[in-house]
Structure 1
């Protein structure tokens, strides 16, 4: 046997051992929406904590999950796209953490290898196992953070699983030699770094401080900014870093450096993730530096509300970057019409409880059962915020006429990356449609057409060749954005990269 074949078998066997014996996934929640061809999804449904999956992430988590499901429904209702076939989805929570995300991504790999015993997860539908009856994952939509996408892309590459991210902007991911099966529907951070440097230059700010998140997103994004700033004659004062384990004292120290060591640099450029941005503004608030700094921030802040919660005065006047996107109008209507009874999304009721400040668990026994159903992994434990939940005594209404729009204000904004989730799913659909035309001749609605033979051919087709077919396909989505090609969005070969909800213009899809 060739060495490569032997190595692949060893990798599969090792992954089986890891998933089946090294990780307790008995109560892992995931979306299981059945179909003929299955797509995987990786979304940060929860934020991350030091050792836990933390709280529900309404915008980047719940909205994006619903966006993928909405898009699949729309495709399945289109008789011209993938006629005779239905797309399905398995969607898993990354908890905004690389290691946890890798454990979830293993399920997609193992379902495709078809060589492992049962998965012990709990889906939104019936229980299913990683056995011969488990559908192969044809491709994966995700992930959000660049650090997560980089990690899982290395895994998917080994097993020829195409991947399209809707938010990972690190320029590192533009390296097709390292990530041959990765695509994205957002531009590289090099693009926004250039925009930020131009913004600073055009305002005649020639001396600025910088703060970045440690990791792929902040390091590569800020490196790109420094290069662009140098070209434009902008000098850099402080070069501070927020690390994953940075605590209150560390953030306070960064603020002191900005305020006293480089006092003349009132403009501060941020390439930080949303959580780190919040921590920094909290520290500025503690220092009483109201209206002191001018913030120029990447899309890690963007138009998110979390960083400015209780910090509106210290954030006043901030200029933030967000990727231009056109809202998917039909999705907004769909989302606002969702009621509490949404069985496809296993995290939705928890979100509903937090939004309406109520509980569906009306007695202590149910609360204890919920506690026992915490998700445990080798490195993370997904715990519901029991202290907050247990303090809720108001029962949630079971009125089936109640909708999200009843609580969300009239100023509801669609999450900034929904369009890119939408485009990623359509990219897979159009790639599969092109393959269907090649591999499954005949009229899909004629009795003689062999649906199951078609499915088998689509699933057995080389993942690498499917990726090439997909990125060479052009289509115009309903939001009028023409997607095509695999443009990484970088004008140079800088080995930059980045991570938070980041991006990379790719898609073509």
Structure 2
């Protein structure tokens, strides 16, 4: 609204001015602003705008007479030093034989009194001049100034640039930081030697990130500087996943209720760090309330607008603001400035009323023309009745912390270098239409803007000065820390630097040992909504709260997070599993029935034990092969049965250990053939028993001719050969192979033998089952045959055990996971083998070894004789 109003006033003045031209042969000034200023003539004039006074007093409006012009109060010595720095820089350039030779620079400097209206008046005076009239009937020609250094504030800079940008008048601000001024479409001729708020915000966020402060409060002033800085701050915080706990606006006026509301929000918040974008005039009422509320335990982060303001450096504020971290524009050194500041004299420059005001404020008396400056420090005969007035040891002569003044110095030199480059142009090689060059006597502002955009030089202090495409300078900030001094007040120390390079980006360098922390212990505070989630957990945002407020949930089995504050857990690859802490993927445990584990050792022992027992029985039978009990039970089939049982016991070893291709192929084949050989032998033994019984009867004398030794061997071989064929077809078509199975349990890999063909494995088992069933049936039918030692009973009992074991095996095998399925199969093999071995051979060995008197033909046949 203010910008629109001033543009309208400006255009109105142009209309009035144009109307007057039609009535006169001269261009006349239609009005005159009462402004405090400093002047120096030259071939080329530079303008300057400075905030030399704190306040503007507006006249009383009666709406009956023309109001008096506003006037300014409360002279600022430090800002006056900045104005004098511009005068010094121009004086230094004029003495430089290399820069702008044969050209003398002059200046017109005005005081804007920290008031938008005064700043706009001063800018219009600079661009239109203060001459009452000139005879150019077209009212055309170069403006009185070719460029302006200023304004230091963002809001006046926006208003002034909006108007002067229409005429492409170059403006180089030394303290306006609003990021909005980087918009080249709106402000095509605006430049600045101070970084914009966007860079300032990045620098402050770098400090927050360095100390891990992710949960911070934000306070900003209700002006362009504060509003645009707050917007950039929110965006930058979101970019790095940080959060603003609260965001409060400092009001224009000292409204106690608003100030108390802000302090209440700060006190209630869990954020220990508070970032403030504000000028000192906005912030002072809040700090007064902080003292009244005795609000300690907060880490303040100061923007450059108040980080160096001395009004806060009092012992009264030390308990609350001590330890404050802030950023400030680069501090520089200007050789010769101190002596220049000491040797000014208003009596020699009667036009410069700003000098007169300075002396009146310095010494508190009315100025009278005359006087001299002696020894660079003493001013005599300046004020009536006053002598030995010193201007040393004042903010005006303190050049130890040149920040804004150093930017003024760079702004003047930037304009001077642009003018110098403009003068070095060779006709026919110029940058403008037709390769023309600019004429310094008829210089157009946009021509200087072209050269200003390409300025590239280094100051005597060693800082590089150039502008990017938006007119912004490369960002460099000092990091400041407010520390207690010996007198109990606050003293500012530089503890680091934030520097932005064209290739390196924003780089923060801090001396943490030099930082003073206003906390116990003397360490940086923690300011987070939630503590960081360690590896092995993930962040789960709390509903309705910012992303910085979250819970840490452990990753599930098989998922990991190997970074801090992970958003999601990562699923491990198929052959990997999460570690106990869920922070890394480790190879899954490969599970198989091993020889080293207790179960494997037990089964191996049982297998070898069965093999040994079978061997001992064979030895016993071999040693007593001519005894009736061995001969009566078909010793050849008995030895074949014992051999097959040994094979059954030994095949167990193929099921134990890490599966290999050959073990997978052999284990079921050897198992199937061994058991078929075993059952076939039992089946033939049973058939021989039945044949012998029938041969003892008259009607069955021819039965034995079908069960001679050859027939017995052929029957066993034929039955076994059929199993061999089944195994051969199975292995040739769908051979079992080692397989890593992760379906049983996700945390382990079960290393097993895939059977390849379910049909092949089923036929193998079915064939064994068929032979066992037939053997059981025949033995059951022959169980009551008359004999003192009827082997059919033992075969019946052994086959009953065999069938029971394998019937129970099927559901147990299907329901057992992993290696335990293999253990179930081994147990079934061992149980059935031991059942056959014990049931068939234990009674015989008992008689042979313990009752040899019963191992006679008469004893064996005794029962039959008795029955007769």
In the aligned structure 2, how far is the partner of 1:39 from the partner of 1:270?
Answer: 35
Distance in 1 separating the partners of 2:122 and 2:93: 26
5 Å matches for 1:200-239? 200-239=208-247
Cα deviation for residue 330 of structure 1 reads 2.0
Query: Structure 2 residue aligned with 1:188, among 192, 196, 207?
Result: 196
Structure 2 residue aligned with 1:294: 299
Could you say if the C-alpha distance between residues 338 and 292 of structure 1 is closer, same or farther in structure 2, counting changes exceeding 3 Å?
A: farther
Shift of 1:471: 2.1
Q: Cα–Cα, structure 1 residues 175 and 407, in superposed 2: closer, same or farther, change >3 Å?
A: closer
**Residues 170 and 410 (structure 1), Cα distance of their counterparts in 2 relative to 1, 3 Å cut:** closer
- Residue aligning to 2:44: 37
Whether the 8 Å CA contact 1:16–1:110 is kept in 2: the answer is: no
1:317 aligns with 2:323: yes
8 Å CA contact 1:36–1:85 kept in 2: the answer is yes
CA RMSD of aligned residues (A): 3.5
Q: Tell me, in whole angstroms, the C-alpha distance in 2 between the residues paired with 1:355 and 1:265.
A: 44
Task: Give CA deviations for 1:391-430 in whole Å, capped at 9, x if unaligned.
Answer: xxx967755x754225569975344111111111111111
Partner of 2:448: 466
Report if aligned partners of 1:183, 1:486 keep a CA contact under 8 Å in 2: no
Q: What is the total number of aligned residue pairs between the two structures?
A: 419
Aligned counterpart, 2:461 = 479
Q: Compared with structure 1, are the counterparts of its residues 132 and 165 closer, same or farther at alpha carbon in structure 2 (3 Å cutoff)? A: farther
* 2:412 paired residue number: 425
Instruction: State the match for 2:125 in structure 1.
Output: 107
Q: Who is 1:78 aligned against?
A: 96
State the SS of the aligned residue for 1:230.
Answer: helix
2:66 equivalent in structure 1: none
Matches within 5 A, 1:115-134: 119=130, 128-129=131-132, 131=134
Q: Which has the larger share of helix?
A: 2
Summarize the Cα distance change of 1:188–1:235 in structure 2 as closer, same or farther, 3 Å threshold.
same
Contact 1:15 1:106 in 2 (8 A): no
Q: Deviations over 1:240-259 (max 9, x none)?
A: 11132343443233222222
Partners of 2:209 and 2:312 lie apart in 1 by 25
The answer as to 2:74 corresponding to 1:55 is yes
| Structure number with larger C-alpha Rg | 2
Q: Are 1:94 and 2:101 an aligned pair?
A: no
Q: Deviations over 1:226-285 (max 9, x none)?
A: 12222233221221111323434432332222223x2x2231100101211223212212
Q: Report the CA distance between 1:71 and its aligned residue.
A: 0.5
TM-score with structure 1 length normalisation?
Answer: 0.73
Where structure 1 has 5 or more consecutive residues not aligned to the other structure, the ranges are 1-7, 112-118, 120-127, 363-393, 442-455, 492-504
CA distance in 1, matches of 2:92, 2:14: 35
Within 5 Å, which residues of 2 pair with 1:70-469? Answer: 70-111=88-129, 119=130, 128-129=131-132, 131=134, 136-260=144-268, 262=269, 264-289=270-295, 291-309=296-314, 311-338=317-344, 343=349, 345-356=352-363, 358-360=364-366, 399=387, 402-405=389-392, 407=394, 413-438=400-425, 457-469=439-451
**Taking structure 1 as reference, are residues 398 and 253 closer, same or farther at Cα in structure 2, changes over 3 Å only?**
same
Report how far residue 218 of structure 1 moved: 0.7
User: In 2 relative to 1, CA 475–153 (structure 1 residues): closer, same or farther, beyond 3 Å?
Assistant: same
Any unmatched runs of 5+ in structure 2? 1-9, 21-27, 59-70, 137-141, 369-381, 429-437, 475-499, 501-868
Shift of 1:345: 4.6
Check whether the contact 1:190–1:490 (CA below 8 A) recurs between aligned residues. Answer: no
CA contact (8 A) 2:37 2:109 kept: yes
Give the C-alpha shift of residue 331 in structure 1: 1.5
> Deviation at 1:57?
2.1
Classify 1:411/1:179 alpha carbon distance in 2 versus 1 (closer, same or farther; 3 Å).
Answer: closer
TM-score (normalizing by structure 2): 0.44
Task: Report the secondary structure of 2:318's partner residue.
Answer: coil
Q: For each residue in 1:18-54, what CA deviation from the matched residue of structure 2 results, as whole angstroms up to 9, or x when unmatched?
A: 9966x762x4221121111111111111123685744
Tell whether the 8 Å contact from 1:35 to 1:88 is kept in structure 2 after alignment: yes
Say if 1:296 and 1:320, in contact at 8 Å, map to a contact too.
yes
Range with greater deviation from structure 2 (338-347 or 230-239): 338-347
**Structure 1 residues 361 and 37, CA gap change in structure 2 (3 angstroms):** closer
1:193, distance to aligned residue in structure 2 (A): 0.5
